[in-house]
């Protein structure tokens, strides 16, 4: 592979982005295409996937292959087998995984929680298993798993989502150690609030004023939405430089503060912020 950049030598020739048609995934797609990687984009909606792919083909001299798949499908392993075997994938970004609403666990259908577990735990594990083994055999490659600031502490209203994002973070850390020994870079990316189309469609509402009564938890957690391009850029800059990266200076400062905060207080802050973000009123708590 002479004549290739160090990035393409380590992570080329193909990058697979699970959830690559919008938001942070789309930003990864553009930035990876700019670095010369061919792209495999997965998402559910064909129209959105094709629009994203055409946009990239017009701007960059790379191949783009699109695949409409639901990453929560119970037979995901079998569905992806042929796809991952067809091309030499040197980089995998597992991006899809946002929660699109919030509510107390017992006020929402079990199926919603199970779907999040499939999307954020079973999905990344499946792709890591399929692609990671090939990367390990080649002695090069990279894997980025999208986690979240929600992985830093449990939170009411998004209890399952936060738990699945903690899974992604801890999985990335373990794989960073395991696969690092074979020349494969693994990064768990903790994103904070980010302005994506999925967030715009969800019940989340970011209040930029941060001054109204009841904003205390959000202010303490410094929830200021980031541009998805910046989140992807920071991740690519830090791939190969440690197991975890928290996107955004404010998020890194918040993570440090949370680590020093007593656990009960941290969980309460996260829960109040989740309620505020989704326009929910926390129930009165009994006991302590
Ligand atoms: N945005 C934020 O504020 C924020 C904050 C913290 C962490 N994050 C993390 O960043 C990642 C990206 O978030 P996002 O806001 O851009 O929304 P997202 O819905 O997680 O990602 C959007 C992309 O994933 C695809 N996708 C979603 N569900 C899918 C499924 N079941 N099967 C296949 N593809 C699927 C979407 O295409 P289709 O809809 O067509 O399937 C689209 O390409 C997530 O892992 C999220 O947890 C986001």
Helices (H) and strands (E) in the chain, counts: 12, 7
**Per the domain annotation, does 283 fall within a domain?**
no
What domain range is 103 assigned to? 8-277
Question: 27: helix, coil or strand?
Answer: helix
Q: Is the pLDDT of residue 214 over 70?
A: no
Distance, in Å, from the CA atom of 154 to the CA atom of 172, rounded to the nearest integer, reads 19
Atom of ligand 1 minimally distant from the CA of 146: 45
In 146-227, alpha helices (H): 159-180, 197-201, 216-220
Distance, in Å, from the CA atom of 104 to the CA atom of 203, rounded to the nearest integer, reads 14
Task: Please state the domain count of the chain.
Answer: 1
pLDDT of amino acid 215: 59
Which CATH number characterizes residue 158's domain?
3.40.50.720
Least confident of 34-38, 100-104, 183-187, 270-274: 100-104
Q: Are 5 and 32 spatial neighbours (Cβ–Cβ below 8 Å)? A: no
Q: What is the pLDDT of residues 215-250, one digit of tens each?
A: 566 666 767 899 999 999 999 999 999 999 999 999
Atom of ligand 1 minimally distant from the CA of 165: 47
**Per the domain annotation, does 109 fall within a domain?**
yes
Q: What is the pLDDT of residues 130-143, one digit of tens each?
A: 999 999 999 999 99
Atom of ligand 1 minimally distant from the CA of 44: 41
**Per the domain annotation, does 256 fall within a domain?**
yes
**Per the domain annotation, does 287 fall within a domain?**
no
Q: Which residues line ligand 1 (CB under 6 A)?
A: 19-25, 42-45, 48, 69-72, 95-98, 119, 146, 148, 191-194, 196, 198-199
**Per the domain annotation, does 15 fall within a domain?**
yes
Length of the chain counted residue by residue = 288
**Per the domain annotation, does 241 fall within a domain?**
yes
Task: Give the CA distances from residue 126 to residues 94, 101, 117, 221, in Å, rounded to whole numbers and listed in that order.
Answer: 11, 25, 12, 33
Distance, in Å, from the CA atom of 76 to the CA atom of 71, rounded to the nearest integer, reads 7
Entry pTM: 0.95
Out of 17, 22, 74, 244, mutate this one to test ligand 1's pocket (max ligand atoms within 8 Å of CB): namely 22
List, in order, residues 6 or more apart from 96 with CB less than 8 Å away. Answer: 18, 19, 25, 42, 43, 71, 119, 123, 146
Atom of ligand 1 minimally distant from the CA of 194: 3
Q: Are 41 and 21 spatial neighbours (Cβ–Cβ below 8 Å)? A: yes
Out of 43, 187, 192, mutate this one to test ligand 1's pocket (max ligand atoms within 8 Å of CB): namely 43
Other beta carbons within 10 angstroms of residue 117's beta carbon come to 16
**Per the domain annotation, does 254 fall within a domain?**
yes
Q: Burial letters for 80-93: b for 16+ Cβ neighbours within 10 Å, e otherwise?
A: beebbeeeebbbbb
**Per the domain annotation, does 286 fall within a domain?**
no
């Amino acid at each position: 592979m002479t004549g290739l950049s160090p990035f393409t030598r380590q992570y080329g020739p193909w990058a697979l982005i699970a959830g690559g048609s919008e938001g942070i995934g789309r930003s990864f797609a553009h930035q990876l295409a700019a670095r010369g990687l061919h792209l495999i984009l997965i998402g559910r909606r064909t129209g959105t996937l094709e629009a994203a792919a055409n946009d990239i083909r017009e701007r960059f001299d790379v191949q783009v292959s699109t695949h409409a798949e639901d990453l929560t499908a119970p037979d995901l392993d079998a569905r992806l087998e042929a796809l991952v075997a067809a091309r030499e994938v040197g980089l995998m970004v597992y991006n899809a995984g946002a929660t699109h609403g919030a509510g107390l666990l017992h006020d929402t259908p079990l199926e919603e929680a199970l779907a999040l577990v499939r999307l954020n735990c079973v999905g990344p594990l499946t792709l890591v298993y399929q692609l990671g083994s090939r990367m390990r055999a080649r002695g090069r490659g990279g894997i980025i798993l999208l986690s979240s600031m929600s992985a830093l502490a449990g939170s009411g209203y998004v209890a399952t989502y936060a738990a699945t994002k903690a899974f992604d973070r801890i999985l990335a850390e373990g794989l960073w150690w395991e696969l690092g020994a074979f020349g494969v870079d693994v990064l768990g990316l903790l994103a904070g609030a980010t302005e994506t189309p999925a967030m715009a469609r969800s019940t989340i509402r970011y209040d930029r004023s941060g001054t109204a009564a009841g904003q205390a938890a959000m202010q303490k957690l410094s929830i200021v939405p980031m541009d998805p391009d910046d989140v992807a850029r920071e991740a690519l800059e830090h791939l190969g430089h440690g197991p975890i990266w928290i996107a955004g200076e404010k998020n890194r400062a918040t993570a440090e503060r949370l680590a020093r905060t007593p656990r009960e207080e941290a969980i309460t802050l996260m829960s109040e912020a989740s309620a505020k973000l989704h326009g929910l009123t926390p129930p009165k708590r009994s006991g302590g």
